[in-house]
Amino acid sequence: MSNSPILITGATGFLGGFLAGELIKSGRRTILLVRPKGNDSAQQRVENLLRFLNIKAKYEPVVIPAQIDRPGLGLSQEHRRILQNVPEVLHCAADTSFAERKKEQVETTNLQGLQNVFDIVPNCERFFHMSSAYSAGTQEGLIKEEIQYPPGFHNPYEQSKNEAEKLITDLCWEKRTNLTIFRPSITYGDAATGKSLRFNALYFPVRTMLFIRDSLKKDILERSGKRAAGLGASINENGSMHLPLTFPGSGQLNLVPINFLVKAVTAIMDSGETGIFHIVNPKSDTIGQLAQNIERHYSISGLEVADEVVQDGPLQTLINSYMDVYYPYFCDKRIFSDYRTRKMLEPFGIECPELTSAVFKRCMDFAVEAGWGSKIRV
């Protein structure tokens, strides 16, 4: 393991936070670029992160307040000098918004931000770039671990991640910097502890279901129940809540837990390998399994899966609003080859665990406990 410092961006985000935690825990010297948030300084946010991850640092991370979408990252001369000779960068900062109306903001962070970070480390020898499996865009079928040239993209996020891969490839080529690109699929919490820092993607449908369940249960038990009845909801004899809802069902759902991602990424970083690595689950899930898990663990019935959703009642409107956005990921026609990744990880016995019913419950229970993130201050 190298003892030279590594610069980490996005260190208080989901992937960057867990990766920063692991590198700090393992005794790496780290420099973290962190955006102050609300009343919390960059330093405070990192302290909160380490407390959340329960990590004691052997070497205290050097925390530098920064805004990557600003040229020069808004750094002081002193901080620029510190970064002058940084040999390694793990770039995790990203804007993960999908909406077209946020395109400019996404491009600024994911493209201009990347350029800004690269410019600030003129002597960088190795650049680790966190991309996404979904930079493959609207292609279907097998997606290889190489730069992709898809016919289109589902949203500005995918496009920005694809363009960022090309940008960083060119930048590293020009400066003879070693480049490793990681492409994770949908990432959820730690399969062992349930911990997570972000509660969208897999979590949001569950959150929505529980919100609907609790609101309507209250209506039935504490009020007249007229509103629940109007929505076709009722309480079953066993006390579970019947919600007449349909999920779009074809295709697959590729999910990896954050603890696997951390192990895989750090192992590849340590290996010195360059190139592109899919951090994906060889065994995809389905939305049907997701619906089953929600029903099993959260006293809900009535969830159906169909190729085409025709129902358009109030509850379905709410679910569809989300599913419309996540459809390409929940009903995925892409198959991600992880040949290079598996080849790297097999010698270490690192495998992606399944999203079992128990793991699902552990992660969702943590999310509920954490108020879907509202009680976590990082």
| Contacting positions for another protein (CB under 8 A) | 97-101, 200, 204, 207-208, 211-212, 215-216, 218-219, 223, 227-228, 230-231, 312-315, 317-318, 321-322, 324-325, 371-372, 374
Q: How far is the CB of 272 from another protein (least distance, A)?
A: 37
Q: How far is the CB of 218 from another protein (least distance, A)?
A: 8
In this structure, are residues 239 and 306 in contact, taking their beta carbons and an 8 Å threshold? no
Rank residues 142 and 221 by Cβ distance to another protein and give the closer one. 221
Rank residues 23 and 370 by Cβ distance to another protein and give the closer one. 370
Helix (H) or strand (E) segment spanning residue 144: none
Rank residues 3 and 374 by Cβ distance to another protein and give the closer one. 374
165 backbone dihedrals φ, ψ, rounded to 5°? -60, -40
Q: How far is the CB of 96 from another protein (least distance, A)?
A: 9
Q: How far is the CB of 371 from another protein (least distance, A)?
A: 6
Q: How far is the CB of 65 from another protein (least distance, A)?
A: 22
Phi-psi region of 239 (alpha: psi -120 to 50; beta: other; left: phi over 0): left
Rank residues 230 and 275 by Cβ distance to another protein and give the closer one. 230
Spatial distance between the Cα atoms of 62 and 5, rounded to a whole number of angstroms: 9
Spatial distance between the Cα atoms of 333 and 14, rounded to a whole number of angstroms: 26
Provide the terminal-to-terminal Cα distance of the chain, rounded to the nearest Å: 28
In this structure, are residues 11 and 20 in contact, taking their beta carbons and an 8 Å threshold? yes
Burial (Cβ within 10 Å: 0-12, 13-18, ≥19) of residue 307: exposed
Rank residues 128 and 203 by Cβ distance to another protein and give the closer one. 203
Q: How far is the CB of 159 from another protein (least distance, A)?
A: 15
CA-CA-CA-CA dihedral for 70, 75, 76, 79, to nearest 10: -160
CB atoms within 10 A of CB 296: 12
Q: Which is nearest to 284 in space by CA: 342, 334, 358? A: 334
Rank residues 109 and 259 by Cβ distance to another protein and give the closer one. 109
Q: How far is the CB of 206 from another protein (least distance, A)?
A: 12
Rank residues 99 and 358 by Cβ distance to another protein and give the closer one. 99
